[in-house]
């Protein structure tokens, strides 16, 4: 068995520096790539495509897909208007994420959704999001952390019997760089982790093909945290 090919959804950067102002670049953060390499996979960056049949051909080339972090999912996609404190949306990324998820469903390819990735998964399968956690009094924990990216800031508790609990154990300290989160869970999914203020931090799809979403950024912690490394290792090699 050769190494698994892991598609990593790219993101778009609009250049603000001098040289080529407003020039658009497709890129991936290096930590996603490094996590895949160090956990035994072969990373392949997936640029946005606009046409579903082409996306499906693209996804046929990889074994599994990581849907990465990024800007907010367009609230119109779950039936809401953008609230004042909702963030930037990039329609090309929304369209692409949805087509990747549909392709993976049809081709039975596993997905690991990270941060925005878990939100895309939930919306793609019919769930909704909180548009801005600090607007709700019940969410008192710092989910958009002020500390360095590899610093764990809050606890999450795993639900018994979930894949996430098998990999990570009963609880773990995670970093947190999000102001949105899963609100109404998509049909066909279970919650696999929550923070102590009740924010959904992990979800997974019922069924044979592993579709797992996490709200934190394991790729920014895997060098220092063995459990985060195990999450990538198990996703790439075993589930
Ligand atoms: Mn969090």
Report, as residue numbers or ranges, the catalytic residues.
Answer: 115, 217, 219
Q: Which residues surround ligand 1, an ion (CB under 5 A)?
A: 143, 176
pLDDT in tens, 14-68: 888 777 888 889 999 999 999 999 999 999 999 999 999 999 999 999 999 999 9
Q: Which residues contact 121 (CB under 8 A, 6 or more apart)?
A: 67, 101, 111, 113, 186, 189, 203, 205, 211, 213
If you write DSSP's letter for every residue of 45-99 in order, what string do you get? EE---S-HHHHHHHHHT-SEEEE---SBPPGGGGT-PPPTT---B-HHHHHHHHH
pTM, to two decimals: 0.97
153 CA from centroid of ligand 1 (Å) = 8
115 CA from centroid of ligand 1 (Å) = 9
pLDDT in tens, 99-116: 999 999 999 999 999 999
Any idea of the CA torsion for 101, 106, 108, 111, to the nearest 10 degrees? 0
5 CA from centroid of ligand 1 (Å) = 29
Strand pairing partners for 78? none
């Amino acid at each position: 068995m050769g190494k698994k090919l892991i598609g990593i959804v790219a993101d778009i950067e609009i250049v603000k520096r001098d040289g080529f102002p407003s020039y658009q670049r497709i890129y991936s953060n290096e930590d996603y790539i490094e996590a895949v390499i160090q956990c035994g996979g072969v990373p392949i960056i997936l640029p946005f495509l606009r046409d579903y049949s082409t996306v499906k051909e693209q996804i046929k080339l990889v074994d599994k897909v990581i849907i990465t972090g990024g800007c907010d999912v367009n609230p119109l996609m779950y039936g809401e208007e953008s609230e004042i404190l909702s963030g930037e949306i990039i329609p090309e990324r929304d369209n692409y994420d949805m087509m990747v998820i549909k392709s993976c469903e049809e081709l039975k390819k596993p997905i690991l959704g990270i941060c925005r990735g878990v939100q895309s998964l939930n919306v793609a399968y019919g769930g909704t999001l909180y548009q801005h956690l600090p607007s709700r009094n019940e969410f008192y924990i710092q989910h958009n952390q002020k500390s360095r990216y590899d610093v764990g800031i809050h606890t999450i508790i795993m639900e018994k019997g979930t894949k996430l609990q098998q990999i990570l154990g009963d609880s773990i300290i995670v970093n947190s760089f999000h102001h949105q989160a899963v609100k109404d869970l998509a049909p066909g999914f279970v919650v696999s982790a929550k923070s102590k203020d009740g924010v959904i931090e992990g979800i997974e799809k019922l069924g044979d093909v592993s579709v797992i979403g996490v709200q934190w950024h394991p790729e920014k912690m895997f060098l220092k945290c063995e459990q985060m490394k195990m999450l990538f290792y198990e996703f790439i090699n075993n589930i």
